[in-house]
Structure 1
């Protein structure tokens, strides 16, 4: 482990975990401290250490200059074929990254790297055990008690209280995707309860490692089953999440909005698949029929421009069917029908025109219509 206390960076622990180079600043990462961090990151990249993790779990605060340093270093690592992530953010640090839109790109919602930097001696101000050591012990004690024992519920409640920040951090990964943050927090808390219910403390795994995929799975299931307005295949739902995840990173690296081809090349899939997922995304929240057109309230709503049923369409068949029947009528009956229904003449006017009585016109008209009705029904 290398610890670099300087004027620019109060404390920056550095150690390796396999191929991953881990840097962990502590305290406040303001502009002067960000300069020292940038120097350290550039030095590691120049030495060919292209897999970098900046552990933010020990920071109390960082400013926009420090966030900009991380984003520039991430872009530089990507240009050299490497990667940089900054997990473990919480509280004010996570708030700052969310405000500037860098939290997802830097993967700040991820849990900090497991383990501690190697050291040959215990520092005098050694930290207490991690929260997962505490949660593991609480759940181990709870598992040893009977379900009816009131102490069991109290131990599990304490484990929930210790783990809720993890659930909240994972829920914030999915903010801005069309669902209420309060709803997402509730779903993440439900996933946490499922994780506590299914966790086996004797299996030898930290609760955090078990709970994370359980909570994330519950959140994805919520989006899949409850969020979509219409049914969309699961592969397109998951591809939409991947596209949203990489779009910000690509935009930072390319300096422009990424095209579907850029996204497809980054994900290693066909461009048609990206286009299909983007089209399917429009089905997540169907547009309301009463939404204003063009954002202008005076332009009317979508319901105003939708087509309606043509009330005359059903009569087309009858008109075509009755045409040959009318053609077979005697000349006088055809003339009476024409004057009555096309000329809008009264029976008295028709009688005067034909030189017969109005009563006779009424009888002829009724007999003709009844004959046409029977012929249509029989046909």
Structure 2
């Protein structure tokens, strides 16, 4: 790759001379494209990476100051790479995670590549932590956060014949959860009833017997069953109101 040796000194020199700025951008585009292709294959379209790298190049041209003693390439390369990394950090996460974890994930990825080459094996969590100067807990947190980088579609087939998708395995709304608190309070409320009242309630609501059938079962009149049932329900309502 060949790149030009000169670039207009500062944004001030380019003011009123847009053709010089355009010529500088055009001349250094091979550098931007080269850096963009270094990050290809990581889930982002190459065209998007080239566009992002070009934005970084334009920022470098507009901000470059030769008075700092750095040649343009030495200034432009980290500026372009920084723009590409921000693109990955800010736009490619399926679930938003703290920026610290996004940056840590990138650092862990680079450390894995470096250590695999130098060690001749896959690095351990301890290896990565030592290389980055962080704790093993930080590395594990970064790896956990990296799971948010990609998401799986709910329409993804999970059965051999493709008839079942991931979304089919998700549970629906369960109205029974709304009754859970009431059921918890029901036990103590039921315990306040006497033995006959408990028996009548059990036969009526669990045995699904009519009041006449209950009367025949326990040997009292249907009217008496009705009174006892009403009294038991009134007691329980009062207990449930106090308990909820």
Normalising by the residue count of structure 2, what TM-score does the alignment of the two structures yield? 0.72
Count residues with an aligned counterpart.
238
Alignment pair present for 1:347 and 2:211: yes
Distance 1:155 1:204, change over 3 A: same
Choose from 179, 189, 194 the match for 1:322.
189
Q: Answer 1 or 2: higher relative contact order, Cα 8 Å, separation at least 6.
A: 2
Does 2:235 correspond to 1:368? no
Equivalent residue for 2:97, pick from 211, 222, 231: 231
CA distance 1:161–1:233, change in 2 (3 Å): closer
Unpaired segments ≥5 residues, structure 1: 1-56, 59-129, 146-151
1:318 shift after superposition: 1.8
Task: Output the CA distance in 1 between the equivalents of 2:83 and 2:132.
Answer: 27
> Does residue 131 of structure 1 match 2:9?
no
> What is the CA–CA distance in structure 1 between the aligned matches of 2:8 and 2:159, rounded to whole Å?
55
- Contact 1:142/1:155 (<8 A) preserved: yes
CA distance in 2, matches of 1:315, 1:181: 58
Cα distance change on mapping 1:341 and 1:214 into 2, 3 Å: same
Tell me which residue corresponds to 1:184: 49
Q: 1:368 to 1:262 in 2, by over 3 A?
A: closer
Displacement, 1:340? 0.1
Q: Which runs of 5+ in 2 are unaligned?
A: none
Partner Cα distance (1:174, 1:251) in 2: 19
Secondary structure of 2:97 counterpart: coil
**Alignment deviations for residues 285-310 of structure 1 (CA, whole Å, 9 cap, x no partner):** 24555545599846753772779866
- 8 Å Cα contact 1:170-1:216 kept in structure 2: yes
Q: Which residue of 1 aligns with 2:86?
A: 221
Structure 1 residue corresponding to 2:75, chosen from 207, 210, 227: 210
Q: Give the Cα–Cα distance (whole angstroms) in 2 for the partners of residues 342 and 172 of structure 1.
A: 71
- Out of 290, 296, 301, the residue aligned to residue 166 of structure 2 is 301
Query: What root-mean-square deviation, in Å, do the aligned CA atoms of Structure 1 and Structure 2 show?
Result: 3.8
- Please give the residue correspondences for 1:148-297 in structure 2 after superposition, counting only pairs within 5 Å: 152-200=17-65, 205-228=70-93, 229-232=95-98, 234=100, 236-252=101-117, 254-263=119-128, 267=131, 269=133, 272=136, 273-288=138-153, 291-292=156-157, 297=162
In the TM superposition, residue 377 of structure 1 has moved relative to its aligned partner by 1.5
C-alpha contact (below 8 Å) 1:240/1:281 kept by paired residues: yes
1:194 to 1:294, Cα distance in 2 relative to 1, 3 A: farther
Distance, in Å, in 1 between the alignment partners of 2:155 and 2:189 is 42
Would you tell me which structure has more helix in proportion to its own residues? Answer: 2
**What is the CA deviation profile of residues 262-295 of structure 1, one whole-angstrom value per residue up to 9, with x for unaligned ones?**
5456x26467254443333223224555545599
Query: What is the CA–CA distance in structure 1 between the aligned matches of 2:192 and 2:140, rounded to whole Å?
Result: 56
Cα drift, residue 320 of structure 1: 2.6
| Maintained 8 Å contact 1:136/1:206 | no
Change in CA separation of 1:279 and 1:376 when aligned onto 2, cut-off 3 Å: closer
The CA deviation at 1:161 is 2.0
TM-score (norm: length of structure 1): 0.50
Aligned with 2:14 (options 123, 138, 142): 142
1:345 CA displacement:
0.6
Distance 1:295 1:182 in 2: 35
